[in-house]
Amino acid sequence: MFTGIVEEIGRIRNIRKGEKSESLIVECKNILEGTMMGDSISVNGVCLTVADMSANSFEADVMPETVRATNLKYLKPGDSVNLERALSPTGRFGGHIVSGHVDGTGTIQEIKREDNAIWFTISARNEILKYVIHKGSVAVDGISLTVQYADERVFKIALIPHTRDYTTLPGRKVGYCVNIECDIIGKYIEKLMNYTGKDSKGGISLEYLLENGF
């Protein structure tokens, strides 16, 4: 589990392409402190497993489904990426619950500056936008951000100076493809409310709530 608080900006050193998969070698420094083989690292919001390490880099395999569903397929050597280690039991929960399991991608439609903030307007598919709510949380390329506006086509987020200085997002341009992970709590609630499996009474309804004292 992650929190969406980026620890370091890494750089893609090399990409080994398979038929449908790929292997990323990521240059970094601070992120390797305390990291061991098999640990999870969020790369642009995608949870990847450390398969190999050196003094200043790690290697991670990307399976075909992850290639299809995320913007990792567009990376090339020299590109910068947001990095975060998995949350430790004693770590600070500074962002929100981020699993590293990307729901899909969106496209930057507009970038606008307002005093010390940078506004990003991002479009996405309906199956993603239905979980994005005003003043809720969303992870964009692994960055925990507050939704400042949302409708049926786009949502908007605003970067504070710290996020501007310590993540890759300010370097992106209109048309750039970003990874999006919606708040997992909303997805769990939807699943439970609509569950119609064995021994289910058809999900949560007004009648069900009244019968159970709500």
Query: Domain ranges in the chain?
Result: 8-85, 104-189
Q: Please identify, in words, the CATH class of the domain defined by 8-85.
A: mainly beta
pLDDT of residue 102: 97
Q: Do 8-85 and 104-189 agree at the fold level?
A: yes
Place of tokens 């020299």: 78
Of 100, 106, 61, 56, the closest CA to residue 82 belongs to 100
Global pTM value:
0.89
Q: What is the 3-state secondary structure (H, E, C) of 100-138?
A: CCCCEEEEEEEEEEECCEEEEEEECCHHHHCCCCCCCEE
pLDDT of residue 190: 86
CB 48 within 8 A of CB 35: no
Calculate the alpha carbon distances from 192 to 126, 133, 188, 211 in Å.
20, 19, 6, 17
Local confidence pLDDT in tens for the 214 residues of the chain:
999 999 999 999 999 999 999 999 999 999 999 999 999 999 999 999 999 999 999 999 999 999 999 999 999 999 999 999 999 888 888 899 999 999 999 999 999 999 999 999 999 999 999 999 999 999 999 999 999 999 999 999 999 999 999 999 999 999 999 999 999 998 988 888 777 666 655 666 677 778 878 7
Q: Please identify, in words, the CATH class of the domain defined by 104-189.
A: mainly beta
